[in-house]
Structure 1
Amino acid sequence: MTNRKLRRSTHRSVAALEADVTAWIEAWNADPKPFVWTKTADDILETIAAYCQRINDSAH
């Protein structure tokens, strides 16, 4: 809920934004979730290589 509030709310001041960011950090740190890789390093490197090939071969 805190993440949703942070993304979708409007802040009328820098102090309000800072307060929401601080609240989000505290909520995240209270119940952290580790990042889990879903692809192997080889899969990621292949995707990057394909992207580089596409942008280098463009006719621009």
Structure 2
Amino acid sequence: MEAEQAYQSGDYIPLEEYEESLVMRLFLDFLMKTAINQTETLVPYSKTMSAEIDQLLAGVTVE
């Protein structure tokens, strides 16, 4: 029996992949709406932020 699939952009993809894609799109939509509606909360990305993220991700392996 084939795994469940969803139709997206003209192709069938695994349902799990579709659900992950949907959640990511919803999250990014939320971020965009927040950035547009609350521009006072935006700050420029800095070298300090980059260093902090590098430190947090040190030793993390991405699959």
Structure of greater Rg? 1
**Higher fraction of helix:** 1
Larger RCO, structures 1/2 (Cα 8 Å, 6+ apart): 1
TM-score scaled to structure 2, two decimals? 0.34
TM-score scaled to structure 1, two decimals? 0.36
**Higher fraction of strand:** 2
